[in-house]
Amino acid sequence: MNMLDVSVIIASVESARSIGRCIESVRAALEGKCSEVIVVDASRDTSADIAERNLGRAAVIRCVSGTLTPDLWATGIARSTGQTWVENLESALRVGHTGAAGRLDLGDATSVTDWAVFYLRYSEFLLEPKQVCRDVPGIPADNAAYDGEAIRRFVMNSDDGFWEVEFHRQLRAAGGSLAVVPGATARYGRSFPFSTIARHRFHHGRHAGAWRTSRAGRSPAMIIAATPLVPFALALRAWRRVRPMVEHRGRFLRALPAFLVLAGCWAVGEAVGAVGGAPAPSRAVPRPA
């Protein structure tokens, strides 16, 4: 099998509004590289059709609607053959890090819903580092490069998708390291519909609750008791990160109601997972043509 320099896996859920621009920006970043782009789609809209028009049918994997992003990632990773993703990120891997990521920022023409998702998931990664930050506990997989063999080995040995928190934990336990690098910013564009986001936040929280009780030794009763407080704790943490940034303060406050709803979906899902376990993994389930 010919090994490529770079594989880019794009998990797509109801992304018809943004998948074309996403593919275009990825292609620009890959210019001059021996590379592949794989879109793994679980949409009810025309996202997969748009991706096929841009990349060809062979580069698009269609999965059933409702498949979670970590399961889409895992399907694409298992199919990939490349080593990394891209220049500044790649340079961190060359000096020995197993994974590296750049910061994330809000793109243009985004909505209040997009802001809520962005601050809930990525407020930790708003600041541009002045130099490589080494041995960090976690990085955003949405804008990350990993050693190809390490990430494929993890996916092949797991039947539960690519949940980056668990991968990072195992990676560090095995002596690997993660880094955040300057000059590798990705911009967060239009997201999918609010109802879809809320459903995914619930299922992601359910997975987290199951993991915390089965592997981290947390008490289900404690997780359930903390459920009403979780959205406000997450909002306070995000506010502390964005408060020094004039360009983000106002948008965060306008997005706060939607933020709390989505954080509440996570918290309820976490409580359900703590009692009833995680949802069954759904990767590699083809969508009927």
φ, ψ (nearest 5 deg) of residue 137 = -75, -25
Q: Are 64 and 40 in contact (CB under 8 A)?
A: no
Residue 288: what pLDDT?
Answer: 47
DSSP classification of residue 62: E
Distance CA 201, CA 179 (A): 26
Would you kindly state where each structural domain of the chain is located, as residue ranges? Answer: 1-82, 84-110+124-191, 193-277
What tens digit of pLDDT does each residue of 213-261 get? Answer: 988 889 999 999 999 999 999 999 999 999 999 999 999 999 999 999 9
pTM reported for the whole predicted model: 0.82
> Any bridge partners for residue 6, and if so which?
35, 84
Mean pLDDT of successive 10-residue stretches along the chain, which has 289 residues: 78 92 90 91 94 94 91 90 78 91 90 95 92 92 89 86 90 93 88 90 94 89 96 98 95 97 97 88 53
